[in-house]
Amino acid sequence: MHRNTLIKVRFLRLVPVVAVLALSGCGKGLLGGQLLSPEIIKVTVPTETVKPAIKEAPPEKPADNSPILPPAPSKPAPPQSRQDSRSDEVESRNVIAPTVPPDISYRDETLTEDVTWHGEVLVEGSVTVAPQATLTIEAGTVVRFRAGPADSGSGGVLLVQGRIQANGSNEKPVLFASNFEEPQAGDWQGIVLLASEKKNLLEHCRVEGAETGLDASFAHITMKNTLFVKCRTGARLQDSLLVMVGCGASNCAIGLSLFDCEADIRDASFSSNRKGISAVRTSLYLAGSTLYGNDFEAVAAENSRVKIVGNSFTLNGSGASLTGCEGAVSLNRILKNTDYGLLLARSRVKANGNEIAQNGKIGLQVEEGNSVAWGNILFSNGTYDLYNAGNGEFRAIGNWWGEGTLAHIGKRIYDQRMDNGRGRVLYMPVLKERPATVQ
């Protein structure tokens, strides 16, 4: 037993010696056997595959003659959803800090009984006025909309299925806006009238920063002295009856959009929009209104019945374009628009007593249809005072073309005499004096 223990101790003492001899490159084993060649057990690692360990401390400053490498690109963040992008934008804008809590506040609620709003009202998400209820808003009320939670999908909206009576005054208008200091189009959804054929009224109101300030479908609405400012669309109506007096829109993509409506618009102001008024299959009466500085065009109507009387179209991209329309355009001042003053395409319109002058390219442009122009002032437009873009005749008899000779007047009219593919313009006789109807 003692002998076996001694042998084990001696063997354990020999193990380090064997290891040292193997690492020293000796070709023979202790017992005369062949060991593995040192070249076979040698492992070489290419220097370019060795990467430095990442340390928390900043890298040492390189020498002056060493190139400075850009930092390693970080893992790209996942693309933001529209809601996330909107959230980032919201966080970067200043929100109005209320000095006192709102008098009334809602969060995704439905009003089933008559309610009156006053003072400061905060709507988070949506408020719905049920079909049997009436919402009355007193003069001086400020209604602010804040988007609901991200998972609600609500951008702040007032949905009226019953009736709304917003009774502002000249001294105390009613304000509908978001909770941002500087309004931007799309801050909140807007006021929606859905199948509300009762006596809805917006009087002395201001609507700011909505996607669509007023969106009405199958509704009746009267608006007096109401303005839509910095909305994507000021007001959009479909299959509705509209009366507007002293209203308007500014700094919107579209001031007023009408589809299959009956609209009576008086003493309105549409300025600094991309497009002032757009009407499709609509009965449009527009009188005593100012359309100024709209980038694209002031009024565009298609397949509509129109009566456009006593308005001012100035410094717009184009004045008024009527396509497939019938009716009358009378006593308007259509001046200094960039492109054309008045376009009548495939329409049956009476154009009488208008001043169409100093427009950048064309005063009156016609194309097919059975329109007639008489008693108008047509002069000093950029390229032509009248341009026939169709192949049918156009009657422009009895207009005043300025103080030039008949030969000069003829050069200002583009028709068959200049292009055989165009129809004639019948313009003789001409008025010798400026009409007194437009001054």
248-258 tens-digit pLDDT: 999 999 999 99
125 domain-assigned: no
Q: How many domains does the chain have?
A: 1
Instruction: Compute the distance between CA of residue 344 and CA of residue 342 in angstroms, rounded to an integer.
Output: 7
4 domain-assigned: yes
Instruction: Compute the distance between CA of residue 234 and CA of residue 257 in angstroms, rounded to an integer.
Output: 8
Mean pLDDT of 410-417: 96
pLDDT beyond 90 at 88? no
What string of DSSP letters covers 279-318? EES-EEEEES-EEE--SSEEEEEES-EEEEES-EEESSS-
pLDDT beyond 50 at 65? no
Instruction: Compute the distance between CA of residue 422 and CA of residue 368 in angstroms, rounded to an integer.
Output: 10
How confident is residue 436, by pLDDT bands cut at 50, 70 and 90? confident
| The pLDDT value given to residue 148 | 59
98 prior amide bond cis, ω within 30: no
Mean pLDDT of 75-101: 54
12 domain-assigned: yes
20 domain-assigned: yes
Element (H or E) spanning 345, and its range?
Answer: strand 340-345
Residue type, position 10, single letter: R
Mean pLDDT of 282-302: 99
| The pLDDT value given to residue 438 | 65
Exposed (0-12), middle (13-18) or buried (19+): which is 258, by Cβ within 10 Å?
A: buried
End-to-end CA distance of the chain: 136
Kindly give the pairing relationship between strand 348-352 and strand 297-302.
unpaired
Q: Which of the pair, 165 or 20, is modelled with greater confidence?
A: 165
Instruction: Compute the distance between CA of residue 212 and CA of residue 147 in angstroms, rounded to an integer.
Output: 15
| CB of 95 closer than 8 Å to CB of 179 | yes
Q: Which two tokens stand for residue 369?
A: 């249809």
Instruction: Compute the distance between CA of residue 225 and CA of residue 246 in angstroms, rounded to an integer.
Output: 5
pLDDT beyond 80 at 198? yes
At 91 the three-state DSSP class reads helix
286 domain-assigned: no
330 domain-assigned: no
What number of other Cβ atoms are within 10 A of residue 436's Cβ? 7
| The pLDDT value given to residue 103 | 86
Residue type, position 51, single letter: K
At 8 the three-state DSSP class reads helix
Mean pLDDT of 337-360: 98
pLDDT beyond 80 at 233? yes
Distances (CA, A) of 340 to 173, 271, 337: 38, 18, 6
Strand positions, DSSP E, 204-296: 205-208, 212-217, 220-224, 227-229, 233-238, 241-245, 248-250, 254-259, 262-266, 269-271, 275-280, 283-287, 290-292
Structural domain containing residue 16 = 1-30
| The pLDDT value given to residue 357 | 98
| The pLDDT value given to residue 102 | 85
pLDDT beyond 90 at 20? no
The total number of residues shown for the chain amounts to 439
pLDDT beyond 60 at 10? no
What string of DSSP letters covers 11-47? HHHHHHHHHHHHHTT-SB-TTSPBPPPHHHH-----G
How confident is residue 317, by pLDDT bands cut at 50, 70 and 90? very high
| CB of 162 closer than 8 Å to CB of 198 | yes
13 domain-assigned: yes
Question: Phi, psi at residue 253, to the nearest 5°?
Answer: -65, -45
Helix, strand, coil percent content, the chain, rounded in steps of 5: 10, 40, 50
Greatest mean pLDDT among 24-28, 87-91, 112-116 lies in: 112-116
Handedness of CA 47, 49, 53, 59 (dihedral sign): positive
Average pLDDT, the chain: 84
- Residues paired with residue 279 on neighbouring β-strands, in sequence order: 258, 301
How confident is residue 98, by pLDDT bands cut at 50, 70 and 90? low
pLDDT beyond 50 at 398? yes
Distances (CA, A) of 15 to 19, 30, 233, 349, 367: 6, 11, 90, 114, 109
Q: Which residues are within 8 A (CB) of 181 and not within 5 positions of it... i.e. 6 or more apart?
A: 93, 94, 95, 96
Q: Which two tokens stand for residue 77?
A: 């963040």
How confident is residue 55, by pLDDT bands cut at 50, 70 and 90? very low
Q: Which two tokens stand for residue 31?
A: 């017992």
Task: Give residue-wise pLDDT tens across range 128-153.
Answer: 999 999 999 999 999 999 975 554 45
Distances (CA, A) of 373 to 196, 319, 329, 336, 395: 41, 16, 9, 20, 6
Instruction: Name the region of 368 (left: φ>0; alpha: ψ -120 to 50; beta: rest).
Output: left
Instruction: Compute the distance between CA of residue 334 and CA of residue 316 in angstroms, rounded to an integer.
Output: 10
11 domain-assigned: yes
Tell me the Cα Rg of the chain. 39
Distances (CA, A) of 84 to 89, 92, 108: 9, 13, 21
